[in-house]
Amino acid sequence: MKMNSSLIIVNKMHQMSVRGFNPIRCLSTSKVLPQKEECKVLVVGAGSGGCAMAAKLSSKLEKGKVFVLEPADKHYYQPMFTLIGGGMKRLEQSYRSMCDVLPKNAKWIKEKAIEFDPNSNSVTTSSGRKITYDVLIVGTGLQLNYNKIPGLEEALSIPDGNVCSIYSPKYVDKTYEALQRIEDGNAIFTFPASPVKCPGAPQKIVYIAEHYFRRANKRNKINVIYNTALPVLFGVKYYADALWPICKERNINVNLCRNLIEVRPKENVAVFQNLEKPEEIFEEKYSMLHAVPPMSAPDELAACSELVNEAGFVNVDKNTMQHVKHKNVFAIGDSSASPNSKTAAAAAAQSPVVYENVLAYLNGKELKGSYDGYASCPLVTGYNRAILAEFDYNLNPLETFPVPQNKERYTMFFMKKELMPSLYWHMMLKGYWNGPALMRNALSVFKFGTK
């Protein structure tokens, strides 16, 4: 007797399943339920702050209690990009493998966070995995929006082109190439109308470029222009007052409140808007254009209105770094809405505060850690000098060394170029460096003696 065809199919499927193959699952068109995982602390983003927090907390909590959600293969020391742009460092010196910088006691999930749900204490990843947490630390950093300026990505993609940017590893090498290539005309440098990581970097590359042109004996043929969307040269007046004379002495033309809105690479034209009088549009020819892209919180984070403010940054108390509504959420670094300058030094100073307050929250204790807004920016002014700017929330100088730091010094340049990278790789990312507060206190007696 012939077996019914449907019965044959069922029988075959049963045999296949016995051998470890599940034909029902493979034939099904229904959506597979996302994988769920649980952790004590979830760190989203493995930048400066994220790595420091993962190192600190994974050494305190049991192994596997801390998860790190980060899709990138490489971790870049971004403060080195300015030096790469000036030919003082190489791109390969600026990064390490992500698996080498993350702590072994933490679990690395090599995926991107695509949805935040603080009401259910969960984050969904790019593969559909759902991770629940007791505490969330957001350290996603800033998103580079080159696409927000029409024509900029096209200009940056031109081989041997004259448009460059130190802000991305994809483009940073083009900067030194452009410095070498330009012989005359306008060298234009920009600062966008948006938050910026390391807000001193857009003008550092101006000073480095101007010094390079002098060393190459072509400065008298090149007009150096710095167009910044800011109404000031630098946000801290104490240091701005020291930078203006440098610009004047070196004949650097500074235009305030001037924002790059378009690049026309076929014509070598940059289009700017006067932010004080928006109807005023300027078109400037360039032989070299260094463009700093507008920046923002990552789109996935900004989409979560429960977590962020109107600007898209995690809405935390500026002192405790704890979310104002969701008490088991903290932020560190550039993704935070705290009104400090967005620098790696700020993340270092925030790290002991976040660490102390996360542990206090987990243990049901009062949060006592308090961040004072400390940030630092070594303003490299050429190939052998720098001004070390340090300041707090009130934009008051908060200097570490017993000498006036609003002066150009070789010692500050050497520290920036040679010492800080080692401090970053071997101390900060491992959770040992909390900023220079202890050093500042120790050296304060010498400051007193110099007055």
- pTM for this model (two decimals): 0.90
User: What pLDDT is attached to residue 35?
Assistant: 66
Which residue is catalytic, options 51, 164, 198, 247?
198
Domain pair 37-142+297-372 / 144-295, same fold: yes
How far from each other are the two terminal CA atoms of the chain, in whole angstroms?
109
> CATH assignment of 144-295?
3.50.50.60
- DSSP states of 127-148: TS-EEEEEEEEE----EE-GGG
> CATH assignment of 37-142+297-372?
3.50.50.60
* CB environment 175-200: b (16+ within 10 A), e (fewer): bbebbeebeeebbbbbbbbbbbbbbb
Would you write out the chain's pLDDT as a tens digit for each of its 451 residues? 344 433 333 344 334 433 333 433 222 223 344 567 999 999 999 999 999 999 999 999 999 999 999 999 999 999 999 999 999 999 999 999 999 999 999 999 999 999 999 999 999 999 999 999 999 999 999 999 999 999 999 999 999 999 999 999 999 999 999 999 999 999 999 999 999 999 999 999 999 999 999 999 999 999 999 999 999 999 999 999 999 999 999 999 999 999 999 999 999 999 999 999 999 999 999 999 999 999 999 999 999 999 999 999 999 999 999 999 999 999 999 999 999 999 999 999 999 999 999 999 999 999 999 999 999 999 999 999 999 999 999 999 999 999 999 999 999 999 999 999 999 999 999 999 999 999 998 988 776 443 3
**Catalytic residue flag (residue 257):** no
Domain range list for the chain: 37-142+297-372, 144-295
Which residue is catalytic, options 39, 247, 304, 377?
377
- DSSP states of 419-435: IHHHHIIIIITTT----
**Catalytic residue flag (residue 304):** no
